[in-house]
Amino acid sequence: MELIPGLPNDVAHECLIRISFDQLSKAASVCRAWNAVIKQPEFRRRCWKASALTRPVIVMAQMMDGLKELDPPFYRLTLFEPVKNRWSHIPPIPEMVDGMPVFCRVVGIGPELAVIGGLDPVTHQHLNSVFIYNFLSATWRRGADMPGEDRMFFGCAASADDRTVVVAGGRNWDNFWLKSTLAYDVARDMWTTLSDMSIGQTECTCVFHRGKFHVLTRYNKDTQDDSKQIVETLDLVTRQWRVTDIVTDYTIIPFQSTYVDIGGVIYTVKGRRDVVALVDTTWVFVAKIPKDTFYATYVTGWPGNMMVIRSVKYGHEAKRAYVLELKTKKWTKVKIPSEYCGGVQFSCCIHI
């Protein structure tokens, strides 16, 4: 059967690959043949791994209504496509009619997005829920709940290679800092308990770097020493943790920092305005962010570029964002429509 009348099927496949990710669900409904092709694992691999047509998309858990302050705040998932400078939003989670969980974590795994944990936006009770959004079908599904004790302010990161999400640390209702870690296999919808970290950590940032899972502390509770950070590294093959001290001359900001791996190098923002890169075990200065974006604690990126987003606490403080071209050190301000100016609580970058 011809996918597109008059064209060989290999050419038709190339046409389907070029359909924008937010239109794939509509394309799948055109006919049974298109639906069958688009849902094939091989098609997904060609789209998201082998094809040079993939584009970065920034996903943000963002306060609704732009500049309007709501009580309680209402959060949604918004999308920013840097290549097209286009903003949009993801349909709400069907089970969360009052908005997304507050302080949830958002991670991308191939063509899917996972929303993990957080607090109920109305009752403020802990949630161990997992919701998966598939960009291919534009649908949500419920994943297996996160096991173990309730936790909030945990760190997590996803490995795109084996579609594994690792959750580390956090704290419970008694404000006890947790050492425990968990792994979630997205394909199998299954959680596994991993070995504990050496110390309890909360509001830590996690990143997959060179095939290993890294937990970077914001503050060393035991030593109260800001001149060194503890980095705990987990090898998912051996299931063993390794502890490293990272020396820094930069003051750690009093909010949650985020770290990103770009081209095999970890970047973050230290102090108020310093973009730094981790070289061996030392932070090295890269560039200063624009003055109107100090305290830019949300950092994400894609090959050759790093994006910083100003963290805001209330909706009436407009969000600001800039993109740094790492080679030229040139900053470009991101144009943000008023309806997308609400505060960002968490963000990640995926390629689709």
**Is residue 83, in this structure, part of any structural domain at all?**
yes
| Same domain as 181, residue 34 | no
- Cβ 244 vs Cβ 231: under 8 Å: yes
Q: Half-sphere exposure (CA, 13 Å, Cβ side) for 100?
A: 30
Quick one: average pLDDT of 44-69? 67
> Of the spans 62-71, 275-284, 304-313, which averages the highest pLDDT?
275-284
| Same domain as 119, residue 18 | no
| Same domain as 36, residue 106 | no
- Cβ 138 vs Cβ 91: under 8 Å: yes
| Same domain as 163, residue 130 | yes
Confidence of residue 52 (pLDDT cuts 50, 70, 90): low
What percent of the chain lies above the pLDDT cut of 90?
A: 27
- Cβ 89 vs Cβ 147: under 8 Å: no
For residue 262, CA distances in Å to 112, 301, 302, 322 come to 20, 6, 6, 16
Domain interval for residue 25 = 9-47
| Same domain as 164, residue 35 | no
- Cβ 252 vs Cβ 235: under 8 Å: no
Phi, psi for 143 (deg, rounded to 5): -95, 175
| Same domain as 178, residue 77 | yes
Distance CA 83, CA 54 (A): 11
The structure's pTM equals 0.81
Quick one: average pLDDT of 290-316? 74
Residue 319, number of CB atoms within 10 A of its CB? 23
| Same domain as 159, residue 183 | yes
